[in-house]
Amino acid sequence: MHSGRNYTLQEFIYWTRRKIYVLIILAVVPTVVFAITGTKWILIPWPPILLIGTASALIAGFRNNATYGRSWEARQIWGRIVNSSRTFGIMTLDFIRHPQEGLLKEIHQRILFRHLAWITALRHQLREKRQWENARICPQYIEYAKFYSVPEWKSTLAEDIKEFLTEEEWQSVKNRKNIATHILTLQSADLRQLHEQGRITELKYLELQQQLKDFYDHQGGSERIKNFPYPRQYSTLSRFFFSILTVLIPLGMLNEFSKLGPNFIWLNIPFSIIVSWIFLTLEDIGESTENPFEGAANDVPISTISRTIEIDLKEMLGLEKIPPARVPDHYIQM
């Protein structure tokens, strides 16, 4: 997520420069051919281009609205994870009682650390690669990634989670397909045992179980967005439309500038590049927003959010060793 005031024009140009190179070729070649040979059959009237441009703009607007909805829903889910985690921390500290202060602190830390293990496992699972994602495939995303780092790609789950789970707990979940799910299973079993020991009353036990249910709901919402891509038929159609449009725009503009005189045809090169670049950038913006957990610059910052939760819960426990908040790299928060 970009947390600065805005992206700069230089950043947009750097991000789209490969396509700009193609646009330069598409603009220069027909202009030079027409200037040298005077070939008029390459000139195209505006009406068909306007029809294609209108269709492209409509589908781009539809796509961008839908992909923004996916991104905003993902952010809402992780906002609820923050609120639910704080509520769970307060409930854990207030609901679970033990006559021995030392054992009570140990129980509180065990449960809240296990919750941090769940968040750690979930964010690592959400950063896994999917076939339809762009962050690790498309050159423009790979190159722009040098301006920031994705914590889940720099360390393994085993390294990040060892602080929060005992060795026995880690061994029991590490080979599971969905580790986050089974960490909540361990959490539920621990709470049930504390209830049976009389450390949690019936009503408070049910409220804590409700919190676990909410965590499952939040996890399921995140996994649905992660594992169900924006429909490929719409994405493919949009790409086809814009590819056709960017080929036709220089030919249509060349037709218009040629009517002004032979010296004006060279204006076709900058103007057709600018118009085509606007359309392609609009398409790229929608594409960069459709997968909010892929590890790209416009992701929902789940690593930063997870660190915020970790800081809050550790401060609730009264621990002295508190990790620092994550700071943006070139205004990019992950």
pLDDT of residue 173: 93
pLDDT of residue 89: 94
Q: What b/e sequence results for 84-122 when a residue is b if at least 16 CB atoms lie within 10 Å of its CB, and e otherwise?
A: bbeebbebbbebbebeeeeeeeebbbbbbbbbbbbbbbb
For residue 305, pLDDT over 80 is answered with yes
For residue 3, pLDDT over 80 is answered with no
For residue 225, pLDDT over 80 is answered with yes
User: How many C-beta atoms surround the C-beta of residue 193 within 10 A?
Assistant: 11
Determine the Cα–Cα distance for residues 300 and 298; give it in Å rounded to an integer: 7
For residue 6, pLDDT over 80 is answered with no
Residue type, 154: K
pLDDT of residue 54: 87
For residue 57, pLDDT over 90 is answered with no
Indicate the angle between helix axes 101-126 and 202-227, nearest 10 degrees.
Answer: 20
pLDDT of residue 188: 95
pLDDT of residue 301: 92
Per-residue pLDDT, averaged over 44-57, amounts to: 86
Determine the Cα–Cα distance for residues 118 and 84; give it in Å rounded to an integer: 13
Of 95-99, 155-159, 210-214, 315-319, the poorest mean pLDDT is in 95-99
Give every CB contact of residue 125 below 8 A, 6+ residues apart in sequence: 178, 179, 180, 223, 226
β-pair partners for 332: 2, 329
Of 66-70, 114-118, 285-289, the poorest mean pLDDT is in 285-289
Among 309, 322, 302, CA closest to 221: 302
DSSP calls for 221-263: HHHHHHHSPSPHHHHHHHHHHHHHHHHHHHHHHHHHHHTT-GG
User: How many C-beta atoms surround the C-beta of residue 67 within 10 A?
Assistant: 22
pLDDT band at 116 (very low <50, low <70, confident <90, very high): very high
pLDDT of residue 38: 78
β-pair partners for 2: 332
Query: Does residue 329 or residue 222 have the better pLDDT?
Result: 222
For residue 192, pLDDT over 80 is answered with yes
Query: Does residue 152 or residue 13 have the better pLDDT?
Result: 152
- In this predicted model, what pLDDT tens digit does every residue of 133-186 receive, in sequence order? 887 887 777 777 788 888 898 999 999 999 999 999 999 999 999 999 999 999
Note whether 309 and 85 are within 8 A (CB). yes
